[in-house]
Amino acid sequence: MEVNGPIVFIDDDEDDQLLFKPLLEEIAPLSPILFFTSGQRAVDYLRTTDQRPFLIISEVSMQVMNGLELRRQIEADEELKKRAIPFIFLTHPVYKHLVEGAYELTIQGFFEKKQSIPEMRIQLQAIVDYWSNCLHPNRFTGDE
């Protein structure tokens, strides 16, 4: 995980992308924000890039491949799993069975999307701050 690596944001709702883009650019100005409208496109990117993403933020409820299926694909791919990219769900609405299913897939967080821009900013700031300071296997680039 590179603190200044890209933030991969997966959500098939383009309105949500428009809301979250400026917030993420403000909160993490050194991290490019990469938006994907489908889980498959995100998996294809992750399989072919040499970049070390800082964080994956995904919606759970998507049309073609939902977030749980996306996470299953990442976990089933030995190379992607070994990369250990922090994976966060940011979704609305939230149901108990989705939260339970998500945590069975070794995610690192499950959050309900806030309803106002100030609340979204606070929520995203907390997520980015946590992962910026967290010691994580991908923070190490060599044998240190």
Rg (CA), the chain: 14
Query: Can you tell me whether residue 10 is helix, strand or coil?
Result: strand
Nearest to 105 by CA among 60, 135, 140: 60
CATH 3.40.50.2300, domain 7-139, yes or no:
yes
pLDDT of residue 136: 67
**Inter-residue contact 38 to 65 (CB < 8 Å):** yes
pLDDT of residue 45: 96
pLDDT of residue 135: 75
pLDDT by 10-residue block (mean), the chain, 144 residues: 82 91 95 94 94 94 90 94 92 92 91 95 95 74 59
pLDDT of residue 84: 87
How many Å apart are CA 50 and CA 104, to the nearest integer? 28
The residues spanned by each domain of the chain are: 7-139
Tell me the pTM.
0.91
pLDDT of residue 141: 63
- For 8, the enclosing helix (H) or strand (E) is strand 7-10
